[in-house]
Homo-oligomer: A and B are copies of this chain.
């Protein structure tokens, strides 16, 4: 199993604090030693940092923890390999261009005997996760040859994700840079921080941050993670089958299948 970390914010926000907590689980406080990755949208572009080294030992991870890139949508992942060997091609998040936008995806769980027909989008590595991402994009492209808004797209996303549950566990984060779609098959939690901001203390490292010093009163920042990352805040747990679409730190659509 792996761990997911997502962020949706209404202003470009530094995710260093949450990433620091997540990286500790990559080989120090957790068993997720098999690589990590983080994707940060910047306008229509995307930064993608990945490494097949454990997050806790990775030079690239240390660099990005010390270099606060800011973004409104972030997807990060630490990997505990179950399908596919430990190498860069098998490391989440995965990215594809569709309709002139970069789509980004990360998955927690395992899909057993999942072997879809090859389509236009094909996995580069060997993971069930990347196979699911490509299959999902192939379904979307088949149904919507031209780009559509999230409102029109959503029934397809939910139905495809729901279908994957018959193969196993499928918690996922997906974005095209405009919105962040989140689907919980077993475990996902979120917290929205807004004024008045207070301090937060990481579960996995001796780090406390006072968000009041880092934010303005209008900032809205939501963090989504497999498990709560801080110990002095109240996180909301997703129910199995629950999905939420985030934009600017707020839920714009939600439901449950």
Contacts and interface: CB of A to CB of B under 8 A. Distances in A.
A254 to B, nearest CB: 28
Interface string A81-97: 00000011111000111
Interface residues on A, range: 20 to 34
A185 to B, nearest CB: 26
B96 A97 contact: yes
Contact of A59 (B44, B48, B67, B124): B67
A42 interface: yes
Contacts of A91: 45
Nearest to A85: B43
Contacts of A90: 45
Nearest to A120: B120
Nearest to A67: B59
A88 B124 contact: no
Given A60-B67, A67-B59, A97-B96, A44 B125 contact: yes
Nearest to A123: B100
A101 B124 contact: yes
Interface of A is mostly: mixed
A50 B50 contact: no
A112 interface: no
Contacts of A17: none
Nearest to A44: B89
20 contacts: A42-B87, A42-B88, A42-B89, A43-B88, A44-B87, A44-B88, A44-B124, A45-B50, A45-B89, A45-B91, A48-B48, A60-B63, A60-B67, A95-B95, A96-B96, A96-B97, A97-B122, A99-B122, A100-B122, A101-B124
Interface of A: 42-50, 52, 59-60, 63, 67, 87-91, 95-97, 99-102, 120-125
